[in-house]
Amino acid sequence: MNLHGSLKSQHRIYKVAALPIACLLAFLLHTPDGMTWLGAGVLGFALASIGELISLPAWYSCRIAPVQRTQVWRLLATHAMAAQILTLLWLGAGRLIARALAFIPALQGIDARFDQRAALIYAAGCVFYLLAVSFHYVTLAQDAAREFETRAMETSIQARDAELKALKAQINPHFLFNSLNSISALTSIDPARARDMCVLLGDFLRLTLGLGEKNLVRFSEELDLLQKYMAIEKVRFGARLTMHEEIQEESKACLLPPLLLQPLVENAVKHGIAGLPEGGDVRLAVQRQNGRLAILVENSWDPEAPPRRSGGLGLKNVQQRLEARYGKDASLRVNTEGELFQVSLSLPAESEEKP
């Protein structure tokens, strides 16, 4: 915690409070009998100007005796003792000033008057101390609350960052195992295709790792990755898997979080096409319109397919990432119309600024 800064702000607050305190002291000195307004005023201002003798050390005594974690008797003892010492110090300093002022002709005898009022001034000092203490306790509590809030926010930001990193690093191992098995089959059937598949897989992995490190990517880059992914899955599923793209040219320059669409397309294959004996079609439609980017991933599926345990997790992650990046300005909708499973995203269309 920034101790120095906090003390500085206390000092500033005291400067503001000094004027009313000076007036109050002048009033107290003048009222009962006889000290001239001039004398009372000068003395009041003098005492107020050294008031920090009380208020600033009070801040330390508050810190060494935090109100929630100190026993009541210790709290009382600490502050009673601090009040005594500080007020006496303040009184002593005030007295020296009064002595000095007495040399001024207009203020002759002010030291004697001061001594007469010593008890009153002492009492006022104790009251100031108590006011200062309560003020400090309130600000300390506020500081603690603020610090707690900041820390909570930092933790949640860190957690989100971690989640995103994990998400970006995530390459479905089963996709790899199945692809490797396909390559293994191709080595004897069609070695050239096996090599192509190795290259595709290598490209896909490199793109995934590369994109994952960025905060935003152009849609064209993500599309490249999706096409590689689909090419690999097409080798695996053969004629069972087809893909249709309807990509508007303007949409390709739009920026979006990396690997946002990959899990959607992967889901379409894994939970959609893989569950159909005859296979089916995955459709990707993307367009930019009225400042928004609209993305549709649609696939045929078997509504009665045996549920798979990881279902829904990918969608949830995409939703969380959209929320983290765009808040309420982006949406994800799922529509299951008979034998079609549709996921539509809508997000603000951002483009790279021209250098």
Partner 1 sequence: MSPSQNKRWKALIVDDEELARHVIREFLQSHAEIDVAAECANGMEAVKAVAEHKPNLIFLDVQMPKLTGFDVLELIGTEVPVIFVTAYDQYAMRAFDVHAVDYLLKPIGRERFDAALERAKTRLGEKLPPGHELAATARPPQQFLERLVVKDGTKVTLIPVAKLDYAEAQDDYVALATQGKKHLKQQTIAGLEAGLDPNCFVRIHRSYIVNLERVVRIEPYGKDSRLAILTDGTRLPVSRAGYARLKALLDERK
Interface with partner 1 (CB under 8 A): 174, 177-178, 180-186, 188-189, 235-238, 240, 274-277, 302, 304-307, 309
- Identify the CA nearest to 116 among candidates 50, 39, 45, 54: 39
Smallest gap from Cβ 303 to partner 1, in A, equals 10
- Identify the CA nearest to 90 among candidates 61, 41, 133, 47: 47
Nearer to partner 1, 182 or 208 (CB): 182
Strand order in the sheet with 280-289: 241-247, 280-289, 292-300, 340-348, 331-337
Smallest gap from Cβ 353 to partner 1, in A, equals 44
Smallest gap from Cβ 265 to partner 1, in A, equals 18
Smallest gap from Cβ 280 to partner 1, in A, equals 10
Q: What is the rounded distance in angstroms from the CA atom of residue 306 to the CA atom of residue 281?
A: 20
Smallest gap from Cβ 223 to partner 1, in A, equals 26
Nearer to partner 1, 275 or 348 (CB): 275
Torsion angle defined by CA atoms of residues 16, 18, 19 and 23, in that order, rounded to the nearest 10 degrees:
150
- Identify the CA nearest to 88 among candidates 48, 59, 134, 119: 119
Q: What is the rounded distance in angstroms from the CA atom of residue 351 to the CA atom of residue 264?
A: 22
Nearer to partner 1, 41 or 263 (CB): 263
Tell me the three state secondary structure of residue 281. Answer: strand
Strand order in the sheet with 254-256: 217-218, 254-256, 350-351
Nearer to partner 1, 116 or 178 (CB): 178
Nearer to partner 1, 160 or 240 (CB): 240
Cβ 261 vs Cβ 226: under 8 Å: yes
Nearer to partner 1, 307 or 327 (CB): 307
The DSSP string of 50-114 is: TTHHHHHHHHHHHHHS-TTTS-HHHHHHHHHHHHHHHHHHHHHHHHHHHHHHHTSGGGTTHHHHH
Nearer to partner 1, 10 or 299 (CB): 299
Nearer to partner 1, 66 or 303 (CB): 303
Smallest gap from Cβ 240 to partner 1, in A, equals 8
Tell me the three state secondary structure of residue 257. Answer: coil
- Identify the CA nearest to 40 among candidates 128, 101, 125: 101
Smallest gap from Cβ 331 to partner 1, in A, equals 30
Smallest gap from Cβ 306 to partner 1, in A, equals 6
Smallest gap from Cβ 182 to partner 1, in A, equals 5
Torsion angle defined by CA atoms of residues 83, 84, 87 and 90, in that order, rounded to the nearest 10 degrees:
-130
> 116: which residues sit within 8 A by CB, 6+ positions away?
none
Nearer to partner 1, 171 or 216 (CB): 171
Cβ 300 vs Cβ 337: under 8 Å: no
